[in-house]
Chains A and B, each alone.
Chain A
Amino acid sequence: MKGFPQAAREALADSQQRRNVGHATRTIRAKRAAVVGEVPDWEALRAAGEAIKRSAMARLDELLVQLEASVQAAGGTVHWARDGAEANRIVASIVKAHGADEVVKVKSMATDEIELNEALAAEGITAHETDLAELIVQLGDDEQSHILVPAIHRNRAEIRELFRRTLQDTEDLTDEPAELAEAARRHLRRHFLAARVGISGANFAVADTGTICVVESEGNGRMCTTLPDVLVTVMGIEKVLPTFEDLEVMLQLLPRSSTGERMNPYTSLWTGTTDGDGPREFHLVLLDGGRTDVLADPTGRAALHCIRCSACLNVCPVYERTGGHAYESVYPGPIGAILTPQLHGLREGRTLPWASSLCGACYEACPVKIDIPSILVHLRGRVVRDAAERGGLRERLSGERLTMEALARVFASRRRYEAAQKAGRAGQWPLARSGRIEHAPGPLHAWTAFRDLRPMPRQAFRDWWRTRGS
């Protein structure tokens, strides 16, 4: 792991990616703004979405047991997975029990998170991604850079080259979207018809009915959930909703926030198995993977309310410029910056809480009102305190910590504060001779690498105030 500052520095230099991500996020932002603007009760819907998620998380234990009973009553099998490794073992054993060496997959963040494809490959099983953008990432041996549009960092010309290199009968392919989609369709059809096992994630799971819901644009997901004999769904435990009625709110919030559409083209709902229709066997794998640890943090737990719409990515001025790879996680952008470190008990993504200017655009756009800036600040505090507790002497003597502690002492006393102002004025003269500081030492060098610094004027405001003799 490079950490965000370094990974971002490299990403910022990729002019092709800057253009691709900038163009794509601007387009989605405008679409979202238009369809959100036409809903008169949008703020009430957001509040309802937040309330549903908050109440679901407050009784998650009870809802999961209810979901298990509902799914079993409808003919499905439920598996509990403590972590990604356990979930991967469960899925692999189901696939092998049916003698399959290929599976087709619906786009799913949970299976990306646990690296299911890699785990299946180690067992001799090939997983075919069927979401167009996931397919582009898989064919290019690339990495996802966006929650909704994993290949957002690629443009049409690049995708055309990739398809010509990796798919059959593509010599005459142009970069027209319809032609690119057709090439993918021809490639995927063979897999849809051959696969005996389909694997999906879940946007929502309804506790009182045992219904799983997947929302998509292409219809490829529905092929995976209906054609194969066996369907395995891997879902993070935070995806559960109490009742079917709760979908009414969520299915209004999600597509408008996500793709900027009033309604997405395909909404698939299934409840266990049905004779003569769809898969004959259904397995639901409930994944913890650090989520109960997130739930234990009263401030940080709102990150579990996320419905993976990616509106926060599209409005984020940091994400728009760095793209998703700089976050070094399957969850990029503002939501990734609060989710990744928490899911890994602060062992990974420790620089991510600082990957934000705290501008608040994410909070404004979030359909379930996750106060991402406040959680970022909270996590900064957790990382700083964790480092102080575990880091020993070297951490306690780090430049940043010593500076912050010294400044806290300066600000705690008027006398020290005024003395520091005087000392600063006296100390800056070698730097400020030209009337602007162009090269500052220490941590301020990072400032003057890009911007001039204004020198301290001869008189602070308080000195002037005293001269007024008021």
Chain B
Amino acid sequence: MRIALFIACFNDTLFPETGKAVVRILERLGHEVVFPEEQTCCGQMHANSGYGREAVPLARRFVRVFGEHDVIVTPSGSCAAMVHDAYPRLAELAGDERLAADVRALAPRVHELSRLLVDVLGVEDVGAYYPHRVTYHPTCHGLRLLKVGDRPLRLLRAVRGIDLVELPEAETCCGFGGTFAVKNADTSAAMLTDKVRAVLDTRAEICTALDNSCLLHIGGGLSRMRAGTRAVHLAEILAATEDDA
């Protein structure tokens, strides 16, 4: 299958290893990955911060760049949710019926990574080996907007060598929330403290999730505390093999 990678600007710029991991997993499973180089940002930060009008051209750009592709994957729950959940409202805000129709046609072809693997490609064991103690944080937009359910956990359980431990109060937000993290930094930090406490209680070395944005926040807190626990995107765990060990 030919799969177009929607990397998300955040991953492209700060987390290239996550994008490389997606390519590695999909190619290992026998698929062809293409990367439309005209892609930039889906507009989530603008749309969620009150600059919806500024996000509309970015939605139009996304539709133009990915419109020709049949299967699109992104290693970001919140950017996938942006296309599914927020683009229709942006089209309405702009009164752009063409955009609304384009989004209706395109959104069902945009898949968050765990959904692509389990629902579209029908695999749970992607042939990974990861001999580490790992806990999984379900990020809010994946959980509540995309309803990924236990798909990421099913993928993780099939990883050889992994010691997967349950995160207490897993479904509570970590406090990232995009610009919330800087506009309401104190409240965000209070939420982060409780999330970090839950992560450390598991004694895991690795906290994983579908979104590097939330992981930048959780990992940034762990790093500040010199906690010895790292944040690693799900794709990087699923890409790892015995050759890496």
Chain A residues packing against B (C-beta within 8 Å): 4-5, 8-9, 12, 317-318, 321-322, 353-361, 363-364, 374, 377, 380-385, 404-405, 407-408, 410-414, 417, 421, 424, 436, 438, 443-444, 446-447, 449-454, 456-457, 459-465
* In the complex with contacts A358-B177, A424-B13, A452-B220, A447-B61 CB distance below 8 A: no
B191 and A444 contact, CB distance less than 8 A: no
The interface residues of chain B lying within 8 Å CB-to-CB of A317 are 172-173, 175, 191
With CB as the reference atom, state the residue of chain A lying closest to B22: A461
A461 and B7 contact, CB distance less than 8 A: yes
Can you list 13 contacts pairing A with B, beta carbon distance less than 8 Å? A8-B186, A8-B187, A12-B187, A407-B41, A407-B46, A414-B38, A421-B12, A421-B13, A438-B224, A447-B185, A449-B189, A464-B19, A464-B20
* In the complex with contacts A436-B223, A450-B224, A464-B16, A404-B187 CB distance below 8 A: no
Tell me the chain B residues, 212-237 only, with Cβ under 8 Å from chain A.
216-217, 219-221, 223-224
A450 and B189 contact, CB distance less than 8 A: yes
B52 within 8 A of A: yes
A5 and B184 contact, CB distance less than 8 A: yes
The interface residues of chain A lying within 8 Å CB-to-CB of B37 are 414, 462, 465
User: Smallest Cβ distance from A101 to chain B, in angstroms?
Assistant: 44
Partner of B190 from A12, A380, A417 at Cβ < 8 Å: A12
B183 within 8 A of A: yes
Q: How far is A414 from B180 in the complex, measured between Cα atoms in Å?
A: 27
The interface residues of chain B lying within 8 Å CB-to-CB of A9 are 186
A357 and B188 contact, CB distance less than 8 A: yes
User: Smallest Cβ distance from B113 to chain A, in angstroms?
Assistant: 14
With CB as the reference atom, state the residue of chain B lying closest to A18: B190
* In the complex with contacts A408-B46, A461-B19, A384-B224 CB distance below 8 A: no
User: Smallest Cβ distance from A169 to chain B, in angstroms?
Assistant: 41
B57 within 8 A of A: yes
B16 and A443 contact, CB distance less than 8 A: no
User: Smallest Cβ distance from A373 to chain B, in angstroms?
Assistant: 9
The interface residues of chain A lying within 8 Å CB-to-CB of B43 are 411
The interface residues of chain B lying within 8 Å CB-to-CB of A450 are 185, 188-189, 192, 220-221, 224
B181 within 8 A of A: yes
B140 and A354 contact, CB distance less than 8 A: no
User: Smallest Cβ distance from A328 to chain B, in angstroms?
Assistant: 14
B14 and A457 contact, CB distance less than 8 A: yes
A451 and B184 contact, CB distance less than 8 A: no
Q: How far is A411 from B182 in the complex, measured between Cα atoms in Å?
A: 21
B97 within 8 A of A: no
The interface residues of chain A lying within 8 Å CB-to-CB of B127 are none
Interface of B is mostly: helix
Question: What 9 A-B pairs come out closest when comparing CB atoms?
Answer: A357-B177, A451-B220, A380-B50, A384-B50, A359-B173, A461-B19, A360-B144, A461-B16, A359-B140
The interface residues of chain A lying within 8 Å CB-to-CB of B45 are 407
User: Smallest Cβ distance from B14 to chain A, in angstroms?
Assistant: 6
Partner of A443 from B13, B14, B40, B182 at Cβ < 8 Å: B182
B61 and A457 contact, CB distance less than 8 A: no
A357 and B175 contact, CB distance less than 8 A: yes
Q: How many residues of B contact A (CB 8 A)?
A: 69
B191 and A357 contact, CB distance less than 8 A: yes
With CB as the reference atom, state the residue of chain B lying closest to A374: B89
B80 within 8 A of A: no
Partner of A459 from B16, B50, B141 at Cβ < 8 Å: B16
The interface residues of chain B lying within 8 Å CB-to-CB of A358 are 48, 140, 177-178, 180
* In the complex with contacts A321-B191, A453-B220, A354-B20 CB distance below 8 A: no
User: Smallest Cβ distance from B235 to chain A, in angstroms?
Assistant: 12
B173 and A361 contact, CB distance less than 8 A: yes
A417 and B191 contact, CB distance less than 8 A: no
Q: How far is A295 from B221 in the complex, measured between Cα atoms in Å?
A: 42
The interface residues of chain B lying within 8 Å CB-to-CB of A383 are 50
The interface residues of chain B lying within 8 Å CB-to-CB of A454 are 14, 216, 219-220
With CB as the reference atom, state the residue of chain A lying closest to B93: A381
User: Smallest Cβ distance from B224 to chain A, in angstroms?
Assistant: 5
B54 within 8 A of A: yes
The interface residues of chain B lying within 8 Å CB-to-CB of A462 are 7, 12, 35, 37
B12 and A461 contact, CB distance less than 8 A: yes
Partner of B183 from A354, A360, A411, A444 at Cβ < 8 Å: A354
The interface residues of chain B lying within 8 Å CB-to-CB of A447 are 181-182, 185, 220
User: Smallest Cβ distance from A72 to chain B, in angstroms?
Assistant: 42
With CB as the reference atom, state the residue of chain A lying closest to B196: A451
B11 within 8 A of A: yes
The interface residues of chain A lying within 8 Å CB-to-CB of B185 are 5, 446-447, 449-450
B176 within 8 A of A: yes
